[in-house]
Copies of this chain bind each other. A is one copy, B any other.
Amino acid sequence: MEKIYQASTAEGAIDFINMTDLEEGAKEVIPKGGYGYISSGAGDVFTYQENERAFNHKLIIPHVLEDVELPDTKMEFAGEKLSAPIIMAPVAAHGLANVAAEKASAKAVSRFGTIYTASSYASCTLEEIREAGGADAPQWFQFYMSKEDSINRDILAMAKRNGAKAIVLTADATVGGNRETDRRNGFTFPLAMPIVQAYQSGIGQTMDAVYGSSKQKLSPKDVEFIASNSDLPVYVKGVQSEEDVERSIGSGASGVWVSNHGGRQLDGGPASFDSLQYVAEAVAGRVPIVFDSGIRRGQHVFKALASGADLVAIGRPVIYGLALGGATGVQQVFEFFKKELEMVMQLAGTQTVADIKKTVLRENRYL
């Protein structure tokens, strides 16, 4: 690892056509260890690669005489008005990409007008993130639990104090996946993790050590604990099975978050998009579904919504935008997805997000 970690200081408009451009550009400006940490997947990257390929498993049928014009991506979710059904996924340590870190990303997401999910392993404090977003920004807090209940209560209180509207319990990373790029790079965290400093300093830690310091033994009781100690809606993140749907809803979760952690955890599991249909069937409309992992195009957002997701979260692309353009870059990334989604909506014959959710995709029989 680099002795002194030199993250980008970029701020301003980026020139890009698509997310591949952005990833290639980000590789140039993010230090090798940080880029490896952000971009890589687990094991043989089968699941990582499936995440994007899987969107071809279902096809959008164009509808051409549907009387659609200037489709509208705006929607309401839990009382919040959002510019689009596209939100910020929790990603650790934005400071790896840009010295402005979460201060820049939270500001941009607020300007774009959608939900910002702050990671437990953020490089900034929740106070800074709140300040960057502004008092009314819909911010959620992603929680990696400590092994100690008292610390957990303190962190939840801190989140609440800083206006979190929901708690996202990440439950699929109780140990780190076999992220071999990090091992090859000898990557350790160069930055502090102020939010969880009560149980994890961050600096100089491997990912295995970071995950090891958090709570492994997660169960429905933890959902209940968070709900009762925060009085906030709880989303369980990492749900891919019918069993976890029932455990989540049964223990009072307000929503489930379908994710395979961007293909960084269990290689040899399904693409997140493939799991979405199973989860949506099991949820059967009882609670909202958030979806992430593999979104790189407006058509991916459309397909996730048409497959049962209520909100779609993006992670890596935002971090690449942050590295290359700071807050401006982050906002451009959200605008990119919104613009592609509008184009897809027009061509698919859907005027509103509600129309997308009623769309039936065609199973791709030829794979």
Contact = CB atoms under 8 A, between A and B. Distances in A.
A59 B270 contact: yes
Copies in the complex: 4
A267 interface: yes
A1 interface: no
A241 to B, nearest CB: 5
A268 B60 contact: yes
A14 interface: no
Given A347-B172, A347-B265, A218 B180 contact: no
A348 B266 contact: yes
A127 interface: no
A3 interface: no
A344 interface: yes
Interface stretch (A129-137, A242-250, A327-335): A242-250
B63 A244 contact: yes
Nearest to A267: B299
Given A268-B303, A346-B216, A65 B223 contact: yes
Nearest to A218: B65
B59 A268 contact: yes
Contact of A260 (B62, B243, B270): B62
Contacts of A298: 178
Contact of A366 (B239, B266, B367): B367
8 tightest A-B CB contacts, nearest first: A64-B171, A268-B299, A67-B219, A69-B217, A69-B216, A266-B347, A65-B247, A59-B270
Interface of A: 17-18, 43-44, 46, 54-57, 59-70, 171-172, 174-178, 180, 183-184, 216-220, 222-223, 236, 238-241, 243-244, 247-248, 251, 260, 265-270, 274-275, 278, 297-300, 302-303, 340, 343-344, 346-348, 362, 364-367
